[in-house]
Amino acid sequence: MAQLKSLEIDKQVWGEKGNPFLVHQVVVKELSSRRQGNSKVKSRHEVAGSTRKIYRQKGTGNARHGDIKAPLFVGGGQAFGPKPRDWSYVLPRKIRKGGLRAVILQRKLEEKLWLLENLDWQTPKTKLAAQFFAGAKITSGLVVVEGTDQMAERAIRNLARFAVRRWEDVSVADILKYENLILTQGAYQQLTRRLVQGEKERVA
């Protein structure tokens, strides 16, 4: 039968306090990468209209102008407007891993880090998942699963105020969005291997 319990982590491995600076850097990077960057306005060379000079250069008493598509006129192009661009950028691997490790540790310090084990859900029923979390008195959370936990993934993904992510897709922004962080046994082992053991091997 599925069980939910507080997840104990090794503080010598994960640390004893969070690092808000790393978390902030990673969140800004993740949110920037999600921006579509497709804002676009037309310049004076792109709007429809005549290119004829509207009146002669001298002798009218008016300012000197070219065509009617200048930004000064109604219906003209916009000067220095936004153009399509890519907002994403790359952070060093150590910072990305450090931010994810820090936010998981922070959830533990807040006593909002849980281990979901003994998953035996035979049918992907959202009602069963809702009853399970209601019994545990958890009203909001991000559930991180392994690829083999397909029944749990399908049961939770339509649950209000909950979200489900596979361990390789979880992000710092997702974790901060929900009150609790719930890891399956397989997802916790994979994240530990990715965030901790890989760093130790690199140092060695």
Helix-, strand-, coil-residue percentages of the chain, each rounded to 5: 40, 10, 50
**Strand order in 3-6's β-sheet?**
3-6, 113-117, 180-184, 141-145, 162-166
pTM of the shown model: 0.80
State the fold for domain 3-19+92-203. Ribosomal Protein L4; Chain: A; (3.40.1370)
pLDDT tens digit sequence for 73-108: 999 999 999 999 999 999 999 999 999 999 999 999
Backbone angles phi, psi at 141, to 5 degrees: -175, 160
pLDDT tens digit sequence for 121-159: 778 889 988 998 999 999 999 999 988 778 888 888 899
Smallest CA-to-CA distance from 39 within 67, 81, 74, 78 is with 81
Domain ranges of the chain: 3-19+92-203
The pLDDT of residue 197: 61
